[in-house]
Amino acid sequence: MELNFKKIVLSYLDTTMYHDMNDWDKADVKAYTESTADGYELFIVTFDDQNPSINEDVYYYDSDLAEAVMDALEDHYSVYIDSYLYDDIYLDDTFEEYFSENVEKIVSDSPDSFTEEELAFVKKEYLDEDEETEE
């Protein structure tokens, strides 16, 4: 069974992620790329897309972006990130990692976010519980 870690984690954190440019203004935090005058690509994760802080919001490498996006989501901010950048920084893997690290809290705090089949799968695969042993 394949779980939608993104959906589960966003539901657990009670926040939203946008990928459609039409939703840009709905997001609290924007994650996007810009190019320098000499052609280098920079990565930005900011609350203020009109005046991003060079020291706090701009990244030269994309390796820290997934963590910055997850930090914003954990603080219950909504995030805009286009689907290309989302894929480039492997956010699906980050959602899966977050789920794995927090599975017990997620299951206990929001069991209704799973179907019965998903919940049984999660208990067996992630929590080492079998339904037969539960009573």
Q: What residues contact residue 97 under an 8 Å CB cut-off, 6+ apart? A: none
Where in the sequence is the domain holding 47, given as residue range(s)?
5-133
* pLDDT tens per residue, range 46-86: 999 999 999 999 999 999 999 999 999 999 999 999 999 99
Helices marked H in the chain — which ranges? 5-13, 54-57, 65-74, 83-88, 91-109, 116-125
Per the structure, how many domains does the chain have?
A: 1
Q: Which tokens go with 7?
A: 């959906």
Q: Is the pTM of this model over 0.85?
A: yes
**Over the stretch 7-59, which tens digit does the pLDDT of each residue have?**
999 999 999 999 999 999 999 999 999 999 999 999 999 999 999 999 999 99
